[in-house]
Structure formats: C-alpha cells, structure tokens
Structure 1
C-alpha cells in the first residue's frame, strides 16, 4: 500500500482544522482544533491499514458530512485510498474496504476471535466459542462489499438479529469482543468486575504539531486475562508489523490499566 511520505506536508494544520470544522459541523457544533486533528489522524490510520475501521462518535456529524470531509482529505492528498462510510443503526464507521475484507476473511479462516459472554444471568464473565451467530454476522457483512458505493446505510432487516456490541468489536479489529444474549435483555455482569483496559497510542506529526491519538482501546475481565494474554500478544505483534509498513504515524506505544466500575455500558 502506498501513501505519501507525510500527508501532513500536503495541508497545514490550519487548513485541516478549517476543513474539518466546515464539513463536520452539525447544528453549528464545531469540533475544537485538537479534536479535528485527532479525527484526521484516526482517518489516516484507517487509510494506511493500521486499523480496519473507525467508529466516528465525535460530534454527531452525518454520514454525508463525513463523506464531504473524506473527499477533501483525498483531494489534498492526506488520504490515498477510497474509504467507505457505513451507517449501522445510526452508528457511523469509516472503513478501509480492502483491509476490512482481509481482516474478516482471516477471522473466518482462523476463527481466532475471543468472545466473552457477559450475560447478566452469569455471576462472572466467561470465554465462549466463535459461535455460528458470530460467523453469520461476518459472512453477511462481507456480502456488503459487493456494493461499490462510497456511502452505505445498512438496513435494519440485515442487522436486527446481530449483537451489535460483538459486531462492532469485530469491525474495529479488537482481539476480543463482548457478547450477551440480547433476546434476554441488554444488561451485563461487568458491574464491579475488575477490567484490564488495553490502549494503543500513536503520534502524527503535522508541521509544528505532534498530535497524539488513541488507536485502539478495549477491555478484558481481569480474571480472564491469563486465558487471553497469549492471543492479545499475537494481536499486538501483528499490529506492530502493520505499523512498521508506514512512516506517517510514529511512536506506537501500549498501555494497560485495571479499572473497576459500578456500571459498564456496552
């Protein structure tokens, strides 16, 4: 995959901030300058294939507004690939189609996703197998890539039986994803459960500004950490390999913290 040595050299930080505030401005709710640059860095990470997708949840911008911003980034040379915008139950994803298809194909072949059952009926979370329902979600989503449109809105008929918490974890490339039986409710058993929160950070240099952004953030119950540690280590090594193939983002670093919360919303 090719990419300009530094997309930041094509546009100044002021130009990128101005473009983001102009395009991504629902009801005059403007992004602050640092948020504009962080969103741009996240999009660059998707463009470079360092992550398969970005869940955009910064300020309620519409898919059409995001499409305008992607076009402006493409015209200025900040991104090089044709990224796709997909809306799922009013959640907006920016997706690299080639990387996503490779990611999902590999997932189906290896069945390596770790699912964590957090049904509220359980006393504690447990690991569960890559179930048929998860496989069907992935296969159904792969069919969407036959559509060549830049902007895709998934109809409810397609995703109504999916566990979106699980599916979003899959789309975002997490090594583990939570699952619960949504036919019995949307509560979970994670309240007051110690969670190991894994975070991946990178930096993006744009002229005088070195923007730090969170590339990944996911959690695993502490009592299951020993069961998933080797799997997450392999995931980390693969991420390092992908990261090493580009020069735009720098300073890849990993952090791990343990938190306990009175309520966890998935």
Structure 2
C-alpha cells in the first residue's frame, strides 16, 4: 500500500470534518490504527469519540480505508443513544457467544449506596442483555445495512456503561442501578488502570497508539488479576496472528480521582 501518513491524515480530516472539532494529525492516525485493529480482530469494537462526526461520515471514511486496502473486512457502524461504534460482525458475535457460554464477564458493582465497589455475579439480567444484543446483531446484519441503530425500546432497561464495556471487549465492566441514578462510589477510590499500546509502521513514520484502557478498583485487584491475565494472554494470541501492528505493550498504573464519570 503506497499511501503516506499525510494522505491518511488528509482523508480523515476531510471525511470526518466536524463543526465542533477538527482532528489533529495524531488523532487521525489513532482512529485509522484502531479501525484496523477492529478489522484484524484484535479489538472487538471502537467507540468513536474523537469529535462529533456522524455515522454517515464514519461510513465514508471506512469506505476510503477499504478502497485503499487498509480495511479488508465488512465492518459495520452501530449507533446507540448518540454514541457510535465501529465493529467487526464476526468478532463481536464470537465475543458475545463466548461470554454466554463461559459466563466469565466480571461485573463491578459501584452503586453510590455502597461504601466500596464489590464484584457482582453473572446475573440473569446480564445474560438476557447479551442474548438480546446478539439476537439484534443477527437480525440486523442479515438486512445488510451499513449503519445500524439500536433503538431505545431495546436498551431502555440496560446499563449502558456495562453494555459499552461488553462491546469494547473489556475483561471487566462497571455496573450501577441506573433506575436510582447515575452516580458511583469511585470517588477517591484507588483504581488500577490497565493500558495496552501498539505501534504501526506506515511508510514514513512509526505511530504508537493506545489500543485498550480500562480500570479496576485496587482493592479488588487480587480477585480479578488472574482473569485480567487470561484476557491479556488471549489478546496476545490474537495479536500474534496478524503482521501489521507491532510492539504490543501492557502497562499498569494506580490513580485516585476526586470524581469518576462512567
């Protein structure tokens, strides 16, 4: 692919143009790399939050990446409550199916009524949400639409924080009772932040990008460490099957914040 970083940056800035924010060159390369990671199956989905580009603009950018050979899979776009995801149908269906079979998703209850976060079990509500989401994908993908909209009638009773963690393939997701509010008990709670970095050599530059970033309360780390380690090993296995991205790197830091918005 004889395409320079300048050509990719120019295409992203043109096709993802927003009145609110013009993408920086670094962000353009980040977005391209993360879409490629979704295409390669090492990232289940990308939550696009770089600017206010519409799903239709994202589809145009996806088309340009496919035309230039950077994307080879038939990626789709999902809109949920004004949030936009880019996902690989095969990867997301396999991921959700594995969760239903293994029931291995870790849920962390951070309801504000609690003094501290606790691990929650794989409850029927969570199982029903995953089944409904999987069924929705199967039905909608058969229709062949490039941009899919998840209606409020389906997700109205779901915790979107948990749902987004599912979509993004995190090993653990936060949960709170949204019927009682959207606060949480993470204020001044030490959090272990796990980050995954990769590099991409594109002809004239070597670009480093954050592929995953998620947190777990430090006081629960000893209980979830082995689960996160298995997730890490599985990610490494998928990463080693592709030849494009390099230098997979894992880091871990502990932070304490006066407030945490989920």
Query: RMSD over aligned Cα, in angstroms?
Result: 0.9
Q: Any stretches of 5+ residues in structure 2 without a counterpart?
A: none
Contact 2:4–2:204, Cα closer than 8 Å, also in 1: no
Q: Deviations over 1:72-116 (max 9, x none)?
A: 100111100010000000010000000000000000000000000
TM-score, length basis structure 1: 0.95
Aligned to 2:242: 246
Question: CA–CA distance in 2 between the matches of 1:102 and 1:68?
Answer: 26
What does 1:114-193 align with in structure 2 at a 5 Å threshold?
A: 114-145=106-137, 146-147=139-140, 148-193=144-189
Aligned to 2:260: 264
Question: CA–CA distance in 2 between the matches of 1:171 and 1:135?
Answer: 14
Question: CA–CA distance in 2 between the matches of 1:48 and 1:79?
Answer: 8
Shift of residue 150 of structure 1? 1.1
Q: Deviations over 1:95-145 (max 9, x none)?
A: 000000000000000000000000000000000101111111111111222
Tell me which of 14, 31, 39 is aligned to 1:47: 39
Shift of residue 34 of structure 1? 1.0
Contact 1:47–1:81, Cα closer than 8 Å, also in 2: yes
Do residues 75 (structure 1) and 71 (structure 2) align? Answer: no
Question: CA–CA distance in 2 between the matches of 1:111 and 1:10?
Answer: 44
Question: CA–CA distance in 1 between the matches of 2:223 and 2:207?
Answer: 35
Tell me which of 77, 87, 106 is aligned to 1:85: 77
Tell me which of 7, 13, 18 is aligned to 2:5: 13
Q: Any stretches of 5+ residues in structure 1 without a counterpart?
A: 1-8
Helix, strand or coil at the partner of 1:137: helix
TM-score, length basis structure 2: 0.97
Shift of residue 28 of structure 1? 6.8
